[in-house]
Amino acid sequence: MKVLTLNFLSCAVKTCKSSSDSFPLHPKEAELAKDDVEINPQLLVNVLPRIDWAALRTTSTELGFPTLPDQPPTAEELEADEKMLQELHTLLMEMQIVEGKLVCGHCGHEYAIREGIANFLLPSHLV
């Protein structure tokens, strides 16, 4: 699962949705792999408004990547900053969590990731 995807995910438990602690989910014992994806500045610029920046900062730090700036770059800034482009491209689009867990900060439920696929099926008492 790509780091980009993680930015769109919150806890699957309905009662967690209203809690800000259910997003982002926290990687645990994450094993990372890097895909080779051709850099596409236009794609990054377009995806950027869809990203929750504060959550991405948290994720980046938790995965051991460099701390991101407080505020997201504007489209112009991003297009002009090759280093930032490359860093965000690698983090969002190339990095994958292939094994590990995602933990909800609200209910503590752990979702397993195996062979790159996260499983959000809930045990019956959490549905």
Partner 1 sequence: MASLPSSSAAPAVARLAAAAAADRDAEAEAEAYERAHVHGVYQAIAPHFSATRHKPWPAVASFLHAQPPRSIGLDVGCGNGKYLGVNPAVVMLGSDRSAALVALARSRLGRPGDAGVQDATKTQGEVMTADATSGGAAISDVLVADGLSLPFRDGAVDFAICVAVIHHMSTRARRQDAIRQLLRCVKTREVASGHVLVYVWALEQGASRRGWDEGGEQDLLVPWVLKSQTPRAQKKGTRGQKTNNDDVSVATTGGESSASTAPMVLAGEAAGTTTGGAVSDPVFQRYYHLYRKGELEEDVLAAGGVVITSGYERDNWWVVAANPS
The residues that touch partner 1, with contacts defined as CB under 8 A, are 1-2, 4-5, 8-14, 17, 23, 33, 35-38, 40, 42-43, 46-47, 50, 52, 92-93, 96, 98, 111, 115-122, 124, 127
Q: Which of 93, 102, 104, 113 binds Zn ion (CB under 5 A)?
A: 104
Q: Which is nearer to Zn ion, 16 or 88 (CB)?
A: 16
Q: Tell me: cis bond preceding 24? Omega within 30 of 0 counts.
A: yes
Using CB under 5 A, which residues numbered 9 to 48 contact Zn ion? 11, 13, 16, 22
Q: How far is the CB of 61 from partner 1 (least distance, A)?
A: 19
Helix (H, G, I), strand (E, B) or coil at 16: helix
When CB distances are held under 5 to 8 angstroms depending on the partner's kind, the choice from Zn ion, partner 1, none that residue 106 binds is Zn ion
Contact 100, 33 (CB under 8 A): no
Contact 93, 41 (CB under 8 A): no
> Hey, what are 87's tokens?
């860093």
Return the exposure string of 8-23: e unless at least 16 CB atoms fall within 10 Å of the residue's CB, then b.
ebbbbbeebeeeeebb
Q: Which residues bind Zn ion (CB under 5 A)?
A: 11, 13, 16, 22, 104, 106-107
